Amino acid sequence: VPTLYVVATPIGNLADLTPRAQDVLRSVAAICAEDTRRSGQLLAHFGIQQPLVALHDHNEEALSQRIVARLLAGESLALVSDAGTPLVSDPGYRLVRAAREAGIKVSPVPGACAAIAALSVAGLPSDRFTFEGFLPAKASGRRERLNALAGETRTLVFYESSHRITESLADMMAAFGPERPAVLARELTKLFETVLDGDLASLLQQVEADDNQRKGEFVVMVQGAADDEEAQLAAGRRMYAKLSEHLP
C-alpha cells in the first residue's frame, strides 16, 4: 500500500540512521525534506539518491495537497527533517494530517529524538514529563510561559539554541527558584557532548563561566515542582510578586 513514512534521522552521529530507515529511504519515490541541501548531504553519505522535495514551514500548507495527490496516485514517500524526529519542533504536522484525512497510511520509522535522548541520561524523574519545545524568543513571552509552568510537577523539557541559552537559564532561575534541580544536555551524540547537572543556579554559573558551554544545541530539563503545599505557596508568592509589578 502507498505509505507516507515519517523517518527519524540522526541528531549528530550519522551512525544513528537505522538500517530500516536506510532501506525505507532507498525504497520510496521521493523524500520530503525540510532543507534539501542538508538532507542531500546526509543521504549522499549513505549512497541514497532519491529525489528530494523541499517541505518547510513556509510552503507546507500549499504543498501538502500535491504530496497527498502523489500518495493517492500510488507512490510511497518519506518525510525527514534536518535532524531527529519530524514533527517534534520540526515541520510535518500539516502534511501528516492531510495524509490521514485522505485515508493514506502513515507509518513511523523511529530513531533519534533529542528530547528523549536527553531524558534518558538526565537522571530526572521521567515517568511523566512535559515537552515544552522552544520557549518564545522575546523575553516577555518567555517569562510569562515560565511563570505559568512554575507549579508544574512533571519534569520539564525545553529545546534551546546557543543564542539564548544564558537568558533562558536566567529566566528559569527567576521563575522556578535557583535551587530547582536541572540538567543541561549539549551536543548529544556529537564530539563535544556534555551533560551538566545540578540546580539552575549552578548550571547558569557553569554556562556563564565557559564560552564553550554556550556553543551548540541544548536540551534543558528541569525537575518539576515538589508536589506539596510549599510548592503551591511558592508559586502563589511568585505570581503575587509578578502581579504587584503592575499594581499602582
- The verdict on 157 binding ligand SAM (CB under 6 A) reads no
Q: Angle at which helices 165-176 and 139-148 pack, to 10 degrees?
A: 40
Which residue number, 218 or 235, has a Cβ lying nearer to ligand SAM?
218
Quote the least distance from Cβ 218 to ligand SAM, whole Å: 5
Lookup: cell for 2: 502507498
Residue 29 to residue 21: CA distance in whole angstroms: 14
- The verdict on 41 binding ligand SAM (CB under 6 A) reads no
Quote the least distance from Cβ 178 to ligand SAM, whole Å: 23
Give the interface segment with ligand SAM, choosing from 24-32, 100-108, 154-162, 170-178 (CB under 6 A): 154-162
CB distance 97 to 91 below 8 Å: no
Q: What is the C-alpha radius of gyration for the chain, rounded to an integer number of angstroms? A: 21
Burial 11-31 (b: 16+ CB within 10 A, else e): bbeeebbbeebbebbeebbeb
Which residue number, 192 or 240, has a Cβ lying nearer to ligand SAM?
192
Q: Which residue, 91, 99, 124, 213, is CA-closest to 160?
A: 213
Contact characters 76-95, ligand SAM, x per CB under 6 A: -----x-xxx--xxx-----
Quote the least distance from Cβ 222 to ligand SAM, whole Å: 14
The residue number whose beta carbon is nearest to ligand SAM equals 84
- The verdict on 36 binding ligand SAM (CB under 6 A) reads no
Please select the residue that binds ligand SAM; options are 11, 25, 78, 96, rule is CB under 6 A.
Answer: 11
Lookup: cell for 83: 535532524
One-letter amino acid for residue 236 of the chain: G
Please select the residue that binds ligand SAM; options are 190, 214, 238, 242, rule is CB under 6 A.
Answer: 190
- The verdict on 222 binding ligand SAM (CB under 6 A) reads no
DSSP string spanning 209-225? H-GGGGSSEEEEEEPPP
- The verdict on 219 binding ligand SAM (CB under 6 A) reads yes
Strand pairing report for 181-186 and 194-199: antiparallel
Q: What are phi and psi of 215, to 5 degrees?
A: -95, 145
Which residue number, 11 or 63, has a Cβ lying nearer to ligand SAM?
11
Instruction: Summarize as ranges the residues that interact with ligand SAM (CB under 6 A).
Output: 11-12, 81, 83-85, 88-90, 113-115, 159-161, 185-190, 217-219
